[in-house]
Amino acid sequence: MSETLIPGPASRATCRRRAVAGTALALLVTVTGCTGSPVRSAAAEGTGDSTPVAVTGPLCDVLPSGTEPGSPGSLVDRSPAQALTWIPVLTTFEAAVRATGMAEELSAAGGLTILAPTDDAFRAKFSTANVDQLLLKDTATLRGLLREHLVAGARPVADLASAGTVTTLAGTTLAVTPAGSGARLADRAETVCADYRATGARIHVIDKVLGGLPDTAHEEEHHH
C-alpha cells in the first residue's frame, strides 16, 4: 500500500493538494478543491469529532483523525457524497460519483454500504486515458462500475465479514471472508480503513477495484 498523503496541521487538510493524473480527474478535483463551497464550509464547522467513531484497517493511521477535517467523527452527520470528499485517498471514486450524478443514490432510503477503492487502486486498474474516458464520455459504464461497489443497507465491516456473501446493486454476488479486523471481498480486495459512518451509510475504503471491467493500467507503459 503506497497512498501518498501530505502531512500537516488540520488547517491544511481543508485543501486537497495532491498530484492528480489525467485531464478529467484534475478538472473535477479542482472544482472541489479550496473553493470555500457551502459543502466544505459546513463540514469545516463540524470537525470537533464529538461523536466517537472507530475505524479499522492499516490505512487508518495515516488518514485524518482527532479534530482534523475529514476525521471519522466529523463525517457522521454528512451525506455520503459529502463524506467522500473529505477522505483524502478517495479522489477518483468521489469524482466518479459526481461525474455520474449518483450523489442522491448514495443517500438511498434504507441505507447503503459503500466499498470505495483508493486512488492507488484505480491507478493499478485503469490507465489515465481510460479514467478520463469514463469520467467524460462513458458515464453509463462508470455508473455500472460504481454500483459494483454499493450494497444495500449500512453494514459494519464485521457484519460483512460474517455474512459470507453480499450482493451489490449491480447484481453481483461477492464472497466475503474475515481479514484481520476487516474483510476480504471476492478473494480480491481488502478493506484498508473500514467503518466510516455518514448519514445512512457505512463507507469502507478498499484496496482494489471490483467489477468486471478490463485492466488497462498496463497501456500506460506503452505510451512512454
Query: Which domains are assigned to the chain?
Result: 22-210 (2.30.180.10)
Q: Three-state DSSP class for 187?
A: coil
Q: What is the pLDDT of residue 156?
A: 97
- What is the model's pTM? 0.81
* CB proximity list for 208: less than 8 A, separation 6 or greater: 117, 121, 124, 125, 188, 189, 190
Q: What is the pLDDT of residue 9?
A: 37
Residue 203 near residue 83 (C-beta atoms within 8 A) = yes
Q: What is the pLDDT of residue 198?
A: 97
* CB proximity list for 72: less than 8 A, separation 6 or greater: 49, 53, 54, 55, 65, 195, 196, 197
Average pLDDT over residues 54-82: 96
Looking up cell 443497507 gives 153
Instruction: Report percent pLDDT > 90 for the chain.
Output: 73
CA–chain centroid gap for 206, Å, is 8
pLDDT band at 13 (very low <50, low <70, confident <90, very high): very low
Q: What is the pLDDT of residues 104-139, one digit of tens each?
A: 999 988 999 999 999 999 999 999 999 999 999 999
